[in-house]
Amino acid sequence: MELATITHQKTKFYKDVLKGLRSFPRRLDSKYFYDATGDKLFQQIMNCDEYYLTNCEMEILQQQSDNIISSIKNIEKNFDVVELGAGDCSKSIHLLKKLFELDNSFTFFPIDISKHVIELIEKELPKQIKALNIHGLNGEYIDMLKQSGAISSKRKLVLFMGSNIGNMNSYESVAFLKEVRSCLKKDDHLLIGFDLKKDPAIILDAYNDKEGITREFNLNLLRRINRELNADFVIENFTHFPVYNPESGECKSYLVSNCKQRIFIGDTEFIDLDAYETIHTEISMKYSIKQTNEMAEKSGFKPVEYFYDSKQWFADVLWKC
Ligand code: AVJ
């Protein structure tokens, strides 16, 4: 069982990598950033001065969790909490604590693609909220969301924070949110974090910190492919290059090939890159509130309330089904 799972994941990773590197424009899926090293690097990114997103959203959850809960409580009393991409729960913990004071019977379902992250949550969270029912789910968002519904039929509050939605382009995000909607019932809620449009220089700096941690984070994907798929990327031959388009709101990260080079993925498969060919590795969409309302409507949700940080750089928006 264990072995079969690992083999399957590795096969999917391998297939996705080859398919992406052979597409034009070439791409790699940012969900593969998060191996053990990637998890650590992302933790470091969240501590960077330039990466404002975490502090903004932390301020919202620290100061407005009561308001968030009362916006839901008015409508529906008893509900479970599901968090998509739970990470270290350092933001959601504030909401969970408040909720637990009102109702200690709910179950918290943290969902994460990283098995390591889920193990950590199940170990650490009970230290902060004793007697909290925790049921960690390691896997893809929609599969695991369905599973949480099969385990408990209570109403759901789904958390999708940290601008994780930003990792999908506007078409993908609507398709994804429709899928989320189809797993939910009337009066279920979604609290979703959007990074808002702001001074373009501030946004670009957040993906190009001076210490070079984001650079390492991006390059780590090549290291992971080397390690897990027996590839031979020479890390020095690639440049981390983020760009932000203030019109479309797309912040995209690339790895640019510095030279003409051949890369082997395993013993037999190879890819030839010309000098200055690009590999697109990540998109981090920035939205206006108007655009978030349009997204809600297209995907079958109704906006209930908007929660901003004091700079109005970030919004956690409460939607209902
Ligand atoms: C975790 C997807 C929200 O896109 O801002 C941070 C990941 N990438 N720096 C983001 C990330 C580079 C982050 N999300």
pLDDT tens readout for residues 252-306: 999 999 999 999 999 899 999 999 999 999 999 999 999 999 999 999 999 999 9
Judged by average pLDDT, the poorest of 68-82, 169-183, 298-312 is 68-82
> Residue 88's pLDDT is what?
85
What number is the average pLDDT over the span 143-153? Answer: 95
Q: Which atom of ligand 1 has the smallest separation from the CA of 85?
A: 1
Backbone phi and psi for residue 276, each to the nearest 5 degrees, phi listed first: 70, 15
Provide the 10 A C-beta neighbour count for residue 211: 13
Q: What is the pLDDT of residue 195?
A: 98
* Ligand 1 probe mutation, 32, 254, 284, 286, most atoms within 8 A of CB: 284
**What does residue 239 show for φ and ψ, rounded to 5 degrees?**
-115, 130
Kindly give the number of the ligand 1 atom that is closest to the alpha carbon of 284: 4
pLDDT, residue 19, reads 97
For residue 280, the model assigns a pLDDT of: 98
**pLDDT (mean) for 34-57:** 94
Per-residue pLDDT for 75 more than 80?
no
pLDDT (mean) for 202-223: 98
Ligand 1 near 110 CB (within 6 A): no
Q: What is the pLDDT of residues 120-130, one digit of tens each?
A: 999 999 999 99
Average pLDDT over residues 77-101: 92
Q: Give me ligand 1 centre to Cα 45, in Å.
A: 9
Q: Separation of 30 CA from ligand 1 center, angstroms?
A: 9
Q: How far does residue 124's CA lie from ligand 1's centre (Å)?
A: 23
Q: In the beta sheet, which residues pair with residue 263?
A: 271
171, pLDDT greater than 90: yes
DSSP 25: S
Neighbours of 170 (CB within 10 A): 17
Q: Count the residues in the chain.
A: 321
Under DSSP, the state recorded for 103 is -
**Alpha carbons 150 and 133: distance in angstroms, whole number:** 16
- Does ligand 1 come within 6 angstroms of the Cβ of 282? yes
pLDDT for the residue numbered 120? 92
- The predicted structure's pLDDT at residue 3: 52
Is the pLDDT assigned to residue 169 strictly greater than 60? yes
Residue 313 pLDDT more than 70? yes
Confidence at residue 1, expressed as pLDDT on a 0 to 100 scale:
42
| pLDDT value at 8 more than 80 | no
Lookup: tokens for 249: 């709101």
Q: Whose CA is nearest to atom 14 of ligand 1?
A: 164
Smallest CA-to-CA distance from 128 within 170, 86, 100 is with 100
Residue 16 has pLDDT above 60, yes or no: yes
Q: If you ran DSSP here, which 8-state letter would residue 197 be given?
A: P
| Ligand 1 neighbour 112 (Cβ under 6 A) | no
Q: How far is the CA of 240 from the centre of ligand 1 (A)?
A: 14
List the beta strands (DSSP E) in the chain: 26-27, 79-84, 107-112, 133-134, 137-138, 155-160, 189-195, 238-245, 250-257, 261-265, 269-273, 278-285, 302-308, 314-320
Which distant-in-sequence residues (6+ apart) come within 8 Å of 2 by Cβ? none
Average pLDDT over residues 185-209: 97
Residue 2 has pLDDT above 60, yes or no: no
Q: What is the mean pLDDT of the chain?
A: 94
Locate 164 and state its tokens: 């994780």
Angle between helix axes 170-182 and 289-299 (nearest 10 degrees) is 50
**Gyration radius from the chain CA atoms:** 20
Q: Which of 265, 284, 276 is nearest to 21 (CA)?
A: 265
Q: Is the CB of 284 under 6 A from ligand 1?
A: yes
DSSP 139: S
d(CA 31, CA 16): 11
- Protein residue with least CA distance to atom 5, ligand 1: 284
User: pTM (2 decimals)?
Assistant: 0.92
Complex ipTM: 0.99
Residues 212-216, mean pLDDT to the nearest whole number: 98
Please state, in angstroms and rounded to a whole number, the distance separating the CA atoms of residues 219 and 281: 10
- 174 in Cβ contact with 299 (< 8 Å): yes
At residue 22, the pLDDT reads: 98
Q: Is the peptide bond before 200 cis (omega within 30 degrees of 0)?
A: no
CA 101 to ligand 1 centroid distance, Å: 32
Cβ atoms of residues 150 and 137 within 8 Å: no
Residue nearest ligand 1's atom 1 by CA: 164
